[in-house]
Amino acid sequence: MKIGLIIVGVIAFFGLLAYLTLGNKQHRVEVCVEFQGRTNCRIASGPTRESALRTATDNACATIASGMTETMSCGHKPPTSVKYLN
């Protein structure tokens, strides 16, 4: 009886793992931004295209802008390129 419950638990665990991995579609995007003569590209993923785009833009701006004011200014500019990867 205990062995049967363990087997059912293991099967349920792997089923849940497969569902969460394959069933939760992630959108991936590569974004390039230019700010004050500097350019940077980053890839990010998210549950929606918009959230993936926002995350990639924020990540790209974080490395080429100095301080919060510049980072926010960079993030409000449209990206120089956007490529959806899936």
Given this model, what pLDDT does residue 20 score? 60
Q: Which of 85, 19, 14, 15 is nearest to 52 (CA)?
A: 85
Given this model, what pLDDT does residue 3 score? 84
Mean pLDDT, consecutive 10-residue segments, the chain of 86 residues? 75 68 77 96 93 96 93 94 92
Residue 41's CB is within 10 A of a number of other CB atoms, namely 15
Given this model, what pLDDT does residue 61 score? 96
Given this model, what pLDDT does residue 11 score? 81
Domain range summary for the chain, segments of one domain joined by +: 25-84
72 SS3 class: helix
Q: Say whether pTM exceeds 0.85.
A: no
Distance CA 78, CA 15 (A): 41
